[in-house]
A = this chain, B = another copy of it.
Amino acid sequence: MRPVAVVAAGKTPFGAFSGLDLRALAVEAGEKCLANARVPRERIQSFYLGNFAGPAFTGQNHLAPYISMALGLEGIPATRVEAACASSGSAFFHAWAEVAAGIYDFVMVVGVEKMTSQSTARTTEILASAGDLAGEIRAGSTFASLFAMIARRHMHEFGTKKEHLAAVAVKNHAAGALNPDAHMRKVITLEQALAGRPIADPLGLYDCSLISDGAAAVILAPLERAAEFTANPVRILGVAQASDYVALDQKADITTFPAVRRAAEKAYQMAGVGPRDIQFAELHDCFTIAEIIATEDLGFTPRGCGGPYAMAGYTSLQGERPINASGGLKSKGHPVGATGVAQICDVVQQIRGQAGERQVARHSLGLAQNLGGSGATCVVSILAEA
């Protein structure tokens, strides 16, 4: 396997864009990405689309050629990958594999989701299709209630408090307020976070990520050739995908995600680094409790300590290991299928030192963790200065 680099990255802002359909968003991100490096589109040899529920949100299926042809990527294999909220993380993993194995030299990955054209009730229903329909969803669960059960159990096992959850929200809102592409640029206090109306107890409004429109894109190439195409390539040190049960009731312990631990273990091994080496990370904070558990499953902090770890400021923009300097899914927004590649774009931007007001101090080695459903898919990627 040869070393692979991200040579280009581009994103749309995240938000509610009534005038832009799914394809327009994907094309905007793709064009920005193409403009970010000297890779002519004729050289792209394979195209991946990460998308969770475009058919349900927009009616349009068969989305990969629908978008690749609109980007002028004529004739090449165009493949849509679906893995719930980890759809474009998974697409990134497969694109990396193609370049690493020498199948292709230039592969483009776009992640996209257009969510805001549906009612909240319909959106909740579409998102719930990533859970176990016959079991937990028909029994009345939503993703908020599934993660509420996870949070409740984490509280029971480890003494995690609502204040810990709120601290994650406050931190991510503070960072997102500095991100011009974030969906919700709004600083909140701990009191405001705690006073959010209940969604699924113990989770309140500020514990939940946003329903957003958006797209993100990257181009991968062999590291040895990367300098031909960009002045600041970013090396993919390690990337791994793992899976687990879709249904929460099949898991032996709902306060930890085996798919995250498996993917992290492989990615660390491939990268030749450990948790202590990771300087900053973009984690999948679909709910505040998810970020807390991710910091534990990735080995940043012992099990049960994710809450105090966030509350004590270790993961803030100025902390020893900033987490979600982009604002995270919580404040930047969470267009489901775009999130995995958007995290990669955010890590790339930090490594390049181009993150503006939210630039982290130590930024040569970053990690992105993208979670599908309540942990049935996870992709962990480790990137570094080339």
Which residues on the B side are within 8 Å of A68 (C-beta)? 243
A77 touches B246 (CB 8 A): no
Query: Closest chain B residue to A375 by CB distance?
Result: B65
Interface 0/1 of A229-267, CB less than 8 Å to B: 000000000001111111000100000001100100000
B75 touches A83 (CB 8 A): no
Sort chain A's interface into a size bin: 35 or more
Residue A66 CB within 8 A of the other chain: yes
Q: A129-137, A291-299, A340-348: which lies at the B interface?
A: A129-137
Closest beta carbon of chain B to A325's beta carbon, Å: 28
Q: A94-102, A176-184, A203-211, A355-363: which lies at the B interface?
A: A94-102
Residue A40 CB within 8 A of the other chain: no
Main SS class of interface, A: mixed
Q: A53-61, A279-287, A326-334: which lies at the B interface?
A: A53-61
Which residues on the B side are within 8 Å of A52 (C-beta)? 61
Q: Chain B CB within 10 Å — which of A77, A80, A133, A246 has the most?
A: A77
Closest beta carbon of chain B to A261's beta carbon, Å: 10
Residue A79 CB within 8 A of the other chain: yes
Residue A376 CB within 8 A of the other chain: yes
Query: Closest chain B residue to A69 by CB distance?
Result: B245
A76 touches B243 (CB 8 A): yes
Interface 0/1 of A44-82, CB less than 8 Å to B: 000100001101101111111110110000011111111
Closest beta carbon of chain B to A174's beta carbon, Å: 32
CA distance A97 to B53 in the complex (A): 26
A62-B82, A65-B246 known, 12 other contacts, Cβ within 8 Å: A47-B243, A62-B83, A63-B82, A64-B82, A64-B83, A64-B377, A66-B246, A76-B242, A78-B83, A80-B82, A97-B98, A98-B101
